[in-house]
Amino acid sequence: MNRFVLLAGWLTSLAVLWSQPTLAADRCEAGPDQAVRVVYQTPDNPGERLIFWRYRGNIAWERPAAGIVELWQPMPNGRLALTRLFLQQQRGIAYEPVDLDMLGKKPDWQTISALATPESLGLSRDTGRKVTSVAGDHCWTEQGYADSAEATRLYWSPELALATRLEIKARHIHWQAQQVDTRQASVQSRFEQWRSYDLVDYADIGDMEADPFVSQLINMGFVEHSEHSAYYANGVPVKTSARHRH
């Protein structure tokens, strides 16, 4: 009887061990709508960070050193609206698609929503897949891509629908994902916090120059001639018009 119990226990333990790789693979089922927070860092300068947020189709890029968040919202007509948030003041400027048109900005959703994609950089696959575990409960696969000279390299996760590493030698760009959080509650709470900020419509800026917050932004160049949108902040080369600056 005792030997039977020991044998049954050993078989049970062995079955658990056998099942773990399958269970881990089954968890790799994230998608482009999954709530996620990714902290990108530059290996040569760990203090330089760029934080990606995604929740219910909205995308935010946070630059902690500047205290600024660029929140992008797809509109029903397929165009994009931008809200630039200033964390210290807990206020923001809201830009409608027509405002971005007037400023000569042409936001690229592919770049905004993923840091970069193999297609946007014209890269070809060059390495095999690997599986990385995160927090013991989540995993994803990464596929490497590079150009023929290996001067531009990208690691892409189809489950996260994100780039996990981007290196463009000619532009001295090197971002690498260091932290990943897919807990919906923590991501949702941050978006709800941002929604509580007092916003100013860009179209009303001209009538609000007496507002100290608006006056400060105009003097700092954040309102009419800013080049701090996420598609610049994330370091991906984008063709822009010369009218962004004097």
Instruction: Please tell me the predicted confidence (pLDDT) of residue 211.
Output: 82
Query: What are phi and psi for residue 117, nearest 5 degrees?
Result: -125, 160
* Paired strand residues for 14: none
Q: What is the percentage of the chain residues whose pLDDT exceeds 90?
A: 42
| Residue 71 belongs to some domain of the structure | yes
More confident residue, 97 or 25: 97
| Residue 80 belongs to some domain of the structure | yes
More confident residue, 140 or 103: 103
| Residue 140 belongs to some domain of the structure | no
Is the pLDDT assigned to residue 97 strictly greater than 70? yes
- Binned at pLDDT 50, 70 and 90, residue 228 comes out as very low
| Residue 96 belongs to some domain of the structure | yes
What's the rounded Cα separation, in Å, for the pair 211 and 129? 53
190-220 pLDDT, tens digit each = 999 999 999 999 888 877 878 888 887 777 7
More confident residue, 172 or 1: 172
What's the rounded Cα separation, in Å, for the pair 80 and 98? 9
Is there a contact between 89 and 212 (Cβ–Cβ < 8 Å)?
no
Instruction: Please tell me the predicted confidence (pLDDT) of residue 96.
Output: 95
| Residue 212 belongs to some domain of the structure | yes
Q: Please state which of the ranges 20-29, 90-99, 164-173, 196-205 shows the lowest mean pLDDT.
A: 20-29
Range with top average pLDDT, 81-85, 126-130, 230-234: 81-85
Is the pLDDT assigned to residue 136 strictly greater than 80? no
| Residue 160 belongs to some domain of the structure | no
**pLDDT averaged over every residue in the chain:** 77
What's the rounded Cα separation, in Å, for the pair 151 and 149? 5
For the full predicted model, state whether its pTM sits above 0.75: yes
Q: Please state which of the ranges 92-96, 133-137, 208-212, 235-239 shows the lowest mean pLDDT.
A: 235-239
Give the domain extent around 216.
36-115+177-244
How many domains, in total, are found in the chain? 1
Instruction: Please tell me the predicted confidence (pLDDT) of residue 21.
Output: 34
Is the pLDDT assigned to residue 91 strictly greater than 70? yes
Instruction: Please tell me the predicted confidence (pLDDT) of residue 197.
Output: 96
| Residue 186 belongs to some domain of the structure | yes
| Residue 236 belongs to some domain of the structure | yes
Query: What are phi and psi for residue 202, nearest 5 degrees?
Result: -55, -35
Instruction: Please tell me the predicted confidence (pLDDT) of residue 131.
Output: 67
2-25 pLDDT, tens digit each = 443 333 443 333 233 223 333 244
Query: DSSP assignment of 20-77, as one string?
Result: HHHHHHHT----TTS-EEEEEEETTEEEEEEEEEEETTEEEEEETTTTEEEEEEE-TT
